[in-house]
Amino acid sequence: MKSSRTGVVYSTDNGRMCPDCGKAKADCACRPPVAQAGTGPVYLSCETKGRKGAGVTLISGVPLAGDALTALAKSLKQRCCVGGAVKDGIIELQGDQRDKIEQALKPHGWVIKRKGG
């Protein structure tokens, strides 16, 4: 069945467009704003699932978004001397870095909890 919505989804001038209202995603008013993640504690966990046995430290619930989250991830990667990425508001660092990360995040005053073993 064909969708009743037809319109531009990407513009070279504005980038991604909202299919409902036709405005740029940043200016879209038809959808409720996404609540900022991280109103609770910051969780540290280490997992290997889906990564062919390679351990990855996950940092979720950080009360930052956008460039501030990316800057925090960069400083944590430099402090731990590892690679990593930010995916869907979760910082991923290579290896089990929970001890170093916990020490780095304590000065921010966030409640830090560990998940798993």
Taking only the tens place, the pLDDT of each residue in 46-66 is: 888 777 778 899 998 888 888
Are the C-beta atoms of residues 98 and 114 closer than 8 Å to each other? yes
Stated pTM of the model? 0.63
What is the rounded CA–CA span in Å between residue 2 and residue 32?
Answer: 26
pLDDT of 31 above 70 = no
Are the C-beta atoms of residues 19 and 9 closer than 8 Å to each other? yes
Q: Checking phi first, is residue 39 left (phi over 0); if not, alpha (psi -120 to 50) or beta?
A: alpha
CA–centroid distance for 40 within its chain = 15
What is the rounded CA–CA span in Å between residue 50 and residue 55?
Answer: 10
Q: Residue 38's CB: how many other CB atoms inside 10 A?
A: 17
- The mean pLDDT value for 100-105 works out to 88
Query: Scanning the structure block, which residue is given the tokens 């009743």?
Result: 4
Backbone phi, then psi, for 58, in 5-degree steps?
A: -110, 135
pLDDT of 34 above 50 = no
- Is residue 74 very low, low, confident or very high in pLDDT (cuts 50, 70, 90)? very high
Beta strand 112-114 with 42-47 is parallel
